Amino acid sequence: MFMLLAMLTARDITTGERLLLDRRRRQETKANAAVRFSVSLYYYARLEMDKSTGAHEIPRPALGRVNLHESSFLLRRRAGISVTDFARVAGVSAWWLTKMEHGRESPNRLESFWAPILGRAKTPAKLVAALRRKAG
């Protein structure tokens, strides 16, 4: 767990990603989060995808530190790579990857996967591009 802690910081996270991580940390469904924010499920889902900027003012949740498993999840999501494809490229099972992305397994097994990418890619956008190349 060396430089991986710096993969993404709170300032690299979009509003939709903040809402998603906040909801995952609370172990909430989208429906429950929509109720909490007093918006429709459809509207909340669009907010999480950063596709809606409507009249409802949704607070940006304070995340604190972005954990390693959350960084890995968001980078995979930004790259548009499925759990199955990412697991194949990273040399882990999809079952284990899903548990890791939810914080139920230590993300240290991905260290050897991320280390060479992090050595070359210095920004989140470059990390996503490198992940797409590796998976493609």
pTM (predicted TM-score): 0.81
Cα separation, 106 vs 101, in Å, equals 9
* pLDDT of amino acid 122: 64
Q: Which residue has the tokens 């996967």?
A: 113
* pLDDT of amino acid 28: 96
Mean pLDDT by 10 residues, the chain (136 residues): 57 90 95 93 91 71 85 88 89 92 85 71 73 76
**Residues with Cβ < 8 Å from 72, sequence gap 6 or more?**
7, 100, 101, 107, 110, 114
Residue 23 lies in a domain: no
* pLDDT of amino acid 53: 66
Give the CATH number for residue 70.
1.10.260
* pLDDT of amino acid 18: 92
Residue 98 lies in a domain: yes
Residue 56 lies in a domain: no
